[in-house]
Amino acid sequence: MPFKLPNAQINWTNSAFLIGIALLSITVVPYHIWTNGIDAFQIALFFVFFIATGLSITLGYHRLFAHKAFKAKWPVRLATLLFGAATFENCVLAWTSDHRRHHKHVDHDDDPYDISQGFWYAHIGWILFKITPEPPWDNVKDLRQDALVMFQSKFYIPIAVAMGFGLPTLLGWLWAGPSGALTAFLVAGVLRIFAVQQMTFFINSLCHTIGERPYSSRCSARDSWFMAIFTFGEGYHNYHHEFQHDYRNGVKWWQWDPTKWSIWTLEKLGLVSDLRRVQEEKIIAAQLMEARRRVQDTLADKSLNLTAARQELIRAAGERLDELAERWAVLKEHYRHRAEELKESAAEIKDQKLQEARDAIEEMRREVRAALQLLDGLPASA
């Protein structure tokens, strides 16, 4: 699909930098490693900077600043601003402004990285062009109250160069002199920037293209466990778009989400607080609603040519989901009244009743999971 950018011009600065980083990463870097070798220190340096800068985007730029999923003390904010700049993904004010517009206008023209304009546009094309006039940063007034954010915005370029290229080069020099400095510049600098940027870009492209939509099909965002592996847990994108203020993306305990675990650890260390979590009942309700919609759409789609047996199986799954939805509504109402009764109860009675509620919710989750597995096991067509 062609780009729909009637008022766009090539952004030569962004284009030159991104294309230059990519070309160096696939030509000069491997040639240098092939001819000069690489030691364990340089490999470790790459991964240290990859993790530090990658988490600064997912934990800092994304979940902390863009969505305010938790509160952080100044050491965490400063660290993520410094290492976030080292990714060369812009200052946090610009990054957050674009991302908040993405959530507000997802899959529409005002979405900065609108997937409906094509995979490559969402991936990188939107950065290579600039729209005239550029959208104002009128949705980040809250961040302008943060002195550290404003410091990073004012000195973004020197911070990015110093942290992204200068620091790894210095560490390489201290390790092995000029040759170590050049290797560190290319590997922990150039190659690492390319890798982290692609990680971020794939959230905007692949995570709006491949994967499942268990929580909502109202937008193109998808959950992909595969993408979560490479993006510090950001691959559970359908959940994130439905519940964007939750500090978790991988909401289930077994889902790979290092960003979630890092935030949880920082809370235990007293460095972050006020972690926002979506109530379990809202998550279950979203899954039930989406699953019921899927059943209805499948049965209504005449192009699938479903056999009578398959139609009956899908109807049975739908009836089961309808039954669970009704039971869930009754359960919610019951525990709403129970919560009001418990306001004056003794602590031990409260604990007992809360455990009863948790047990009931867990039982419901198992039944919902069983019904969804029945539905997922059915082929889409005869």
Q: Assess whether pLDDT exceeds 50 at residue 1.
A: no
Q: Assess whether pLDDT exceeds 80 at residue 289.
A: no
* Among 22-26, 44-48, 212-216, the least confident range: 212-216
Query: What's the pLDDT tens digit per position in 305-355?
Result: 655 656 666 666 666 666 666 666 666 666 666 656 655 555 554 455 555
Structure tokens given for 303? 């192009």
Question: How confident is the model at residue 381, as a pLDDT?
Answer: 34
Among 266, 264, 265, 221, which Cα is nearest to 243's?
221
Q: What is the mean pLDDT of the chain?
A: 85
**In angstroms, how far is the first alpha carbon of the chain from the final one?**
31
What average pLDDT does the segment 94-117 reach?
94
Question: How confident is the model at residue 378, as a pLDDT?
Answer: 46
Range 247-274 burial, b when 16+ CB lie within 10 A, else e = bbbbbeeebbbbbbebbbebbeeebbee
**DSSP code of 135?**
P
The answer to whether 126 touches 112, Cβ cutoff 8 Å, is yes
Listed by start position, the domains of the chain span 8-273, 280-376
How many angstroms separate the CA atoms of 65 and 58, rounded?
10
Structure tokens given for 169? 């080069």
Query: What's the pLDDT tens digit per position in 239-288?
Result: 999 999 999 999 988 999 999 999 999 999 999 999 999 987 788 778 77
Element (H, E) at 30: helix 28-36
Q: How confident is the model at residue 209 (pLDDT cuts 50, 70, 90)?
A: very high
Question: How confident is the model at residue 321, as a pLDDT?
Answer: 65
